[in-house]
Amino acid sequence: MHRIESPHNEGLKEIRELTKKAKKRWEKGMFVAEGERLLLDLPASSLLQLYVQEDYKGALPRGIEKEDSRICILSKKAMESISTTEHGQGILGLLRFPKKEKPKGDLFLILENIQDPGNLGTLFRTAEAAGVNHIFLSRNTVDPFSPKVVRSTMGSLFRLPFSIEEDLFFLCESLKSAGVQVFALDLDGKKTHFQAAFQGPSAFLFGNEGNGLTKELSQCATEKLLIPMEGKIESLNVATSASIVLYEAVRQRRYIKEEG
């Protein structure tokens, strides 16, 4: 355990660069997570450094003792210089990227060019809650390790395996070859999500907030589905759409026998 008084410390300078620059995060294989609740459930093995404000009274991450050599005590000014929130809680972690895991299971989420950090964070939380086994992200999706996304996932980023794919079209073809039904949520869909069968291995495609799925990727789907809407609403938020469809999959997989 050591102490840092000055905001100009070189280690803190690197933290600030990691919070602002995606390129720096990917070069170093490190990212920053802030907040007591977010850090509580992180894998202790992924923690490189824990920065704690001198008057911090909250809990430490599970598995981290007060005497841990990775803990660094910061003055209030030093902590304020690296905090990514207006009212920080006085605790921030420097973490290594999670190890890549080979996709397994039979329920997948495929996201193309999602740009809003809050949407991506909500998609992670919803996917974890619905039992998704793996999330695939396109290269042009917002960086999942940016502070806003990390904060918005509320810890799902640490628990739900995901990968960034160079070619989602190739991925979809590979999944279909392995017996996975690939469903695209598309306004051109001929069937509603209530009419589709999700009991078998399934993957769900969702696209950019403004433009939806690219034509090429949409055409790769086994089926195109739409969510029925009343009134003058033309579309739903992508995270909302994913919640609706994923929980229909949950209903079919877990409760359809009870209902029938």
In a domain, 131, yes or no: yes
Q: Average the pLDDT over 36-60 and give the result.
A: 91
> What is the CB neighbour count within 10 angstroms for residue 119?
23
At 133, the pLDDT band (50, 70, 90 cuts) reads very high
186 belongs to a structural domain: yes
Q: Is the pLDDT of residue 92 over 80?
A: yes
Indicate the pLDDT class of residue 233, thresholds 50, 70 and 90.
confident
Q: Note whether 120 and 142 are within 8 A (CB).
A: yes
Does residue 81 sit within a domain? yes
Higher pLDDT, residue 53 or 41: 53
Average pLDDT over residues 80-96: 91
Residues 129 and 244 in one domain: yes
Q: What is the pLDDT of residue 45?
A: 86
What are the residue ranges of helices labelled H in 108-154? 117-129, 147-153
Mean pLDDT of the chain, nearest integer: 92
Q: Same domain, yes or no, for 132 and 34?
A: no
Domain final position from 62, 96, 130: 96
Query: Do 132 and 72 fall within a single domain?
Result: no
Residues 173 and 234 both lie in one domain: yes
With beta carbons less than 8 A apart as the criterion, state whether 31 and 73 touch. Answer: no
What tokens were used for 174?
Answer: 């590979």
Task: Check whether 187 has a pLDDT greater than 80.
Answer: no
Is 200 a domain residue? Answer: yes
Tell me whether residue 101 is in a domain.
Answer: no
**How far is the first Cα of the chain from the last one, in angstroms, to the nearest whole number?**
60
How many folded domains does the chain comprise?
2
My answer on whether 120 and 228 are in the same domain is: yes
C-alpha–C-alpha distance, residues 47 and 65, integer Å = 13
Residue 84 · residue 145 · CB < 8 Å: no
Domain boundary among 96, 126, 141: 96
pLDDT tens profile 11-23: 999 999 999 999 9
Would you call 166 exposed, middle or buried from its count of C-beta atoms within 10 A (0-12, 13-18, 19+)? exposed
Indicate if 127 and 81 belong to the same structural domain. no
Among the candidates 38, 62, 96, a domain finishes at 96
- Are residues 116 and 208 both part of a single domain? yes
- In percent, the amount of the chain with pLDDT more than 90 equals 77
DSSP string, 204-236: EEE-BTTTBS-HHHHHTSSEEEE----TT----
Are 67 and 169 in the same domain?
A: no
Least confident range of 45-49, 86-90, 149-153: 86-90
Mean pLDDT of 133-157: 95
Q: Is residue 210 part of a domain?
A: yes
The secondary element (H helix, E strand) that includes residue 49 is strand 47-53
The pLDDT score that the predictor gives to residue 257 is: 54
Which of 26, 25, 73, 27 shows the shortest CA–CA distance to 50?
A: 73
Lowest mean pLDDT among 77-81, 133-137, 226-230: 226-230
- 82 and 133, same domain (yes or no): no
Q: How much is the pTM?
A: 0.91
User: What confidence tens digit (pLDDT) does each residue in 191-224 have?
Assistant: 999 999 999 999 999 999 988 899 999 999 999 9
Whether residue 125 is found in the same domain as residue 222: yes
pLDDT at 245 over 90: yes
Specify the pLDDT at position 72.
Answer: 96
List the CATH number of the domain containing 254: 3.40.1280.10
62 burial (CB, 10 Å; 0-12 / 13-18 / 19+) is exposed
Q: What is the pLDDT of residue 53?
A: 96
Please state the φ and ψ torsions of residue 50, each to the nearest 5 degrees: -120, 120
pLDDT for position 236 = 85
Q: What is the CA radius of gyration of the chain?
A: 21
Structural domain that includes position 22: 2-96
**152-165 mean pLDDT:** 93
Q: Are residues 90 and 129 part of one domain?
A: no
* 237 and 138 in a common domain: yes
Paired strand residues for 208: 212
Asked if the structure places residue 240 within a domain, the reply is yes
Look-up of token digits 């392995």: 178
CATH of the domain at 92: 3.30.1330.30
32: helix, strand or coil: strand
Nearest to 223 by CA among 183, 194, 195, 191: 183
Provide the pLDDT confidence category of residue 143 given band limits of 50, 70 and 90.
Answer: very high
> Tokens at residue 8, please?
């100009």
Q: Nearest CA to 153 among 52, 86, 145, 111? A: 145
Domain assignment present for residue 102? The answer is no
Nearest Cα residue to 204 out of 247, 237, 158: 247
